[in-house]
Amino acid sequence: MPQLVLITREGCCLCAGLEEKLLALGCAFERLDVDADPQLLARFDLEVPVLIARDGDQERVLPRLSPRLTALQVGAWLQQQGVR
């Protein structure tokens, strides 16, 4: 099963909302602050929140989610993506 990574930023309401939904679902994920890593900042600065599925050496950036989705809808979407 791929590992889920959330690229986020302190003070971002969209990031906080997605993180809350993932926690409500009981999803295990790694949280990375985009501003703490120059490579992440260069790649994802204006795109946060970003979800990444890591499977070994492979990494797949998942499509952007609508912030209007409920936690249950996020869970169903993660299943469709093969992450949950």
Joined together, the tokens standing for residue 14 give: 């969209």
Report the share of the chain in percent with pLDDT over 70: 100
Q: For each of the chain's 84 residues, which pLDDT tens digit applies?
A: 789 999 999 999 999 999 999 999 999 999 999 999 999 999 999 999 999 999 999 999 999 999 999 999 999 999 999 998
Pairwise CA distance, residues 84 & 36, whole Å: 27
Would the CA dihedral through 46, 49, 54, 60 be positive or negative?
negative
The string of pLDDT tens digits covering residues 34-48 is: 999 999 999 999 999
Residue 75: what are its φ and ψ, rounded to 5°?
A: -60, -45
Which residue range forms the structural domain that includes residue 73?
Answer: 3-80
Domain count, the chain: 1
Give the domain CATH number at 20.
3.40.30.10
State pTM to two decimals: 0.92
